[in-house]
Amino acid sequence: MVSQQKRKLQVRNRDEFLKFLDALSKINESCILRIRKDGISSLVASIDNTLILHAQYDTECDFEDTINIPDIKKLSRVIDTINSKELTFDINSNNIEYSGNGIKFKYHLFDEGFLTEPSINLDKINSFDYDVSFNLTKQVLTQVFKGSAFASNTNKIYFYTENDTLMAELTDRARHNTDNFTLAIDKASFDLKPIPINFDNIRLLTNIGNTFDVNINTEYGVAIFNSCLNNIKLKYVLSSLTQ
């Protein structure tokens, strides 16, 4: 950390902050929180780097720094014990400290440089031309998850168009005799050849706003799943698999 001075981190909405942390914890157990004047952000990746999340929580901060969180779920659990909407934390040289509402705790941090962020250029990803865009609702995902109990011998989901309809199919086209489950999502005004995505990664997505805005660059096989709610913005970057 760049300073030994005690700083104050104010969170305006405990429940929103917990949702922000929960989304991060589903992808990786640890993270680097970047604290800036206009909010907090973090960039985390799955173990195989096929799923990357850039999460933002908009809030006003009076200092800028980075803090290394060893165990996101552990931090979330202790914050969840506080019965207050607005929270103020002391950010010390090696810990986060809280005192209020009859509760005190001190959560120790990793040293600066202990964690590293995924090596991805978000500006480059954002500059891509996305030739396919559609919405994916929580209702559709729930149906797909139910179908996965049937097509249990695959970890691939294919998105494609057929007869002007966007389809989602659970199968493995690289294997013979694989059970499949197909769901018609919505009418489509675009053509999309089958693009396979790791279904385990889809399970890790946090749909905070009930709908994902999905953008696909078919040239590079990159899919972006965006979900927003109030002060939280989640951007998932998924790499497509081989057929």
User: Does residue 77 sit in helix, strand or coil?
Assistant: helix
| Domain spanning 7-113: CATH superfamily | DNA Polymerase III, subunit A, domain 2 (3.10.150.10)
User: Does residue 38 sit in helix, strand or coil?
Assistant: coil
| Domain spanning 129-239: CATH superfamily | DNA Polymerase III, subunit A, domain 2 (3.10.150.10)
CATH 3.10.150.10 domain range(s) in the chain? 7-113, 129-239
- What's the angle, vertex CA 204, arms to CA 201 and CA 205, rounded to 5? 100
Q: What is the pLDDT of residues 174-219, one digit of tens each?
A: 888 889 999 999 999 999 999 999 999 999 999 998 899 999 999 9
Which of 58, 88, 61, 28 is CA-nearest to residue 232?
Answer: 58
What per-residue confidence (pLDDT) applies to 242? 67
pLDDT in tens, the chain (243 residues): 444 556 899 999 999 999 999 999 999 999 999 999 989 999 999 998 899 999 999 998 889 999 999 999 999 999 999 999 999 999 998 999 999 989 999 999 999 989 999 988 888 888 889 999 999 999 999 999 999 999 988 899 999 999 999 999 999 988 888 899 999 999 999 999 999 999 999 999 999 988 999 999 999 999 999 999 999 999 999 998 765
Q: How many CA atoms lie within 13 A of 23 on its CB side?
A: 29
37 in Cβ contact with 61 (< 8 Å): yes
Per-residue tokens: 60: 């006003």
What per-residue confidence (pLDDT) applies to 153? 86
What per-residue confidence (pLDDT) applies to 171? 94
147 in Cβ contact with 181 (< 8 Å): yes
Which of 56, 55, 60, 17 is CA-nearest to residue 37?
Answer: 60
- Confirm whether pTM is higher than 0.85: yes
